[in-house]
Chains A and B, each alone.
Chain A
Amino acid sequence: MASYEKLNYFLRPSKQVERKLFIEALQRLSKAGYYVTDYTYLGLGSVYFADFILVHKYLLIDNMVCAEHTEIPKRMRFNKPYDFIKVEMAPVNKVLNDERLINRTKPHVVWLDYDFSLNDSILDDIRDTVHVLAPGSVFLVTVTADPKALANALDEKVRQNITDIQRRDLLVAFLNNQFGTYLLKPVVRADLSYNRLPLLMIDVLQEHLKQAFNSRPSLKFYQLFNFKYADGVQMLSLGGLIDNDDAGQKLTDAGIYDLDFIETGKKPIEISVPPLTMREKDWLDQHMVRNSEPPVLDFELGNDLLKNYIKYYRHYPVYNESLI
């Protein structure tokens, strides 16, 4: 079952915060000379088109391509929020290879937002994407980075008849087989933990991205995004800007690296938003003073949750039931 069937895409608060952070970063990139409004957006869709709506509304991008490989063409077209979105029922590599959809001389914003664990087909998609992207493009990939989901990599029959230890050894062997070439040390059982699995995938993604530029040494990948969050299942996103040597200075001058959700290293920034009532949220918004100590609360709320709220209050999603 795909994740859109389990969960309404809009009701994933951390994911929604991630989308908004990504949008904010893209808005700020214009200060560094990257006018993303003129870019083409390539995304993976799902019937909710949540990313497409935000990208169109807040970045004013209206060249949009959606690659969707599952066999629900009618449903995709039915739910398409804007007529100008080109929905292609094809795998990513076919879309990338279609000159009518992807102009290799123009910059793009690409978000490969998968709802399954990192595997070699995702790595292929990443290489293919980087291969066609012009300098100035922004690229983000999201994968599931959760030990629970990783178990799906094993054959169902195999999974049923084995002990927990056997299962973990099979997963270790699987990861070594898939990603061994990208890792300095072989994968061990401890890497399968909830906290270490994302780190392993970050290593793989970063090395894979470096390798993808062997074909264009004049270009570099400037990592900007490294998010980790969980609305149920833990997800990981890694992304950044593709450009030549001058870009680093441009990003620095524009203050991109000073933003607290920009991460150039290996340790992911954790997005976690506290569940608050509307009254609590409004009270916090009213009493919060930016860049200062947290206010003394009129209600109980853990310090970590409070800090997280203050960090993401501008992106905090609010959900209402409405009669339509």
Chain B
Amino acid sequence: MSIPITDEANVVHSYATKEFFIDMLTRDIGVIDAVLELVDNSVDKIIDTFGLDVMDFLISDAPQETSISAFVDIHFTEDFFSIEDNSGGISRSQIQNEVFVFGNPQERLHQSGLSAYGIGMKRAFFKLGRHIAFRSRTASEGESALVWDVDEWKQSKNESWDLQLSEPDAVGISFTHEEAGTLIRIEKLNNSITNLFGQVPFQNELVRRLQTAYALFVRSGITFRVNGNTIGQSLPDLITSDEIPIARNLVQYQDEKSYGDSTIDVLIIAGLTPRDDRKPRGWYIFCNGRMVVESDQTVLTGWGDRLPQFRPKFNHFVGFVYFRCTDVRALPWTTTKQGVEREAPVFQYALDEMSLQARGITSFLDDAYKEDTDTTVIDQAMEKTHSISLFQVGKSNQSFEYKSPKVAGPRKTTISFQRLEEEVQRVKEAAGNSRLSNKALGEMLFDYYVEMEVG
């Protein structure tokens, strides 16, 4: 017997509360990630308006040099946070029916958007503060605006989740420019946010994150400013030469069961960083141009699983993984866009491909740092390399294969041993140079013996 659904006594309630969004989901995201979510909104709109495809720089033989004049301006103090752009603005119908709906992934028709889940912006608001003023201007409709008082909204419990549009001039914020775009200002900052926003290390870290997360967008001509300062892009360089190549592979991934007809471009570029780059690198992962994993050396990107455990000798390894798809839901990013959905088939596929491309590099580094072999040849090969930026990497697929130059002359071997430090010092003095390195001393002594005893 089935129970009729109208039987009040047997109803099992299931619904979402406002607290869930305001107080709970916000715990899953960091403050910088929340700021980046708001930047994503601006960038997403810029992509849409300007028809931007940032991965073109990495994929196409002849990338279109865009001359767009888009900007995203961030300002914050201990009292407020604001973000303003000239992205083209958001239409009234989108504001009324899409942008403020929780979990409303939009059907994207344009290339490579950044808005995937319809939760990022709202969660970012709640993470930062309690009073949100929103104003948007489009070329065709003029301005729309609203104020979202979160505490007031929360108090109305679940009676109504709706917000009200206001007169643009009544929301207390105004554009600094005449173009179509969006302006958001958040006040009544949460306590922990006020503290952070007043600290220099926070500002520096935010700038650093923007420089890497949006590196491709900076390269494409979008200007990002933080408290008036324009930021650059910062991604590690690679080294290359005739002998030391850079691995690159672009695959069009399809899996009907998982992603229907969608094709996901998976581009992998991997190689070595310059000698003077002292930072341990690892893998960088991007979805539609936006970085979601930075400098990873863990099992997430295959270290200690498909690849060997990350060790200091791999510090100069650097790999970039780019996923591009017009269907943003097919990309393996998480809702916080700080991490990947590890079990996603396309990411599993990428992991296999990453290990295939990286294995040549890790075994090269294995050889380069072996203790008992002569590494002069590799050292010399490294000397001959030059640095290039990611955007200068060739556009054809190739694997990392160290083309060892024909070793000139006979094979060499290494001798190493230990002696009392004091004694070694005395020998150096006897040799007439107390500041001689141990290596030089050893070579000198060996040559001396060869000359005197062996001939």
Contact = CB atoms under 8 A, between A and B. Distances in A.
Interface of A: 93-94, 96-99, 104, 124, 127-128, 131-132, 212, 214-219
B345 A93 contact: no
* The 3 nearest A-B residue pairs measured at CB: A215-B349, A215-B348, A131-B352
Contact of A217 (B255, B357, B401): B255
Contacts of A96: 356
A217 B349 contact: no
Interface in B344-398: 345-346, 348-349, 351-353, 355-357, 359-360, 397
Query: What size tier do the contact residues of chain B reach?
Result: 20 to 34
A71 B186 CA distance: 67
B359 A93 contact: yes
Q: State the main secondary structure of chain B at its contact with A.
A: helix
Contact of A215 (B256, B345, B360, B399): B345
Contact of B256 (A93, A99, A127, A218): A218
B341 to A, nearest CB: 13
B397 A128 contact: no
B156 to A, nearest CB: 45
Contacts of B397: 99
A91 to B, nearest CB: 8
A97 B357 contact: yes
Of the listed residues A93, A98, A127, A215, the one surrounded by the most CB atoms of chain B closer than 10 A to its CB is A215
Contact of B306 (A94, A98, A127, A132): A127
B345 A217 contact: yes
Contact of A128 (B352, B360, B401): B352
B399 A97 contact: yes
Given A94-B401, A99-B397, A127-B306, A218 B255 contact: yes
A96 B352 CA distance: 12
Of the listed residues A94, A97, A128, the one surrounded by the most CB atoms of chain B closer than 10 A to its CB is A97
A98 to B, nearest CB: 6
Contacts of B360: 94, 97
A3 to B, nearest CB: 25
B330 to A, nearest CB: 13
Nearest to B401: A94
Given A96-B356, A215-B348, 18 more contacts: A93-B356, A94-B401, A97-B249, A97-B356, A97-B360, A99-B397, A104-B251, A124-B359, A127-B355, A128-B352, A131-B352, A132-B356, A212-B352, A214-B348, A217-B255, A217-B345, A218-B257, A218-B258
B306 A124 contact: yes
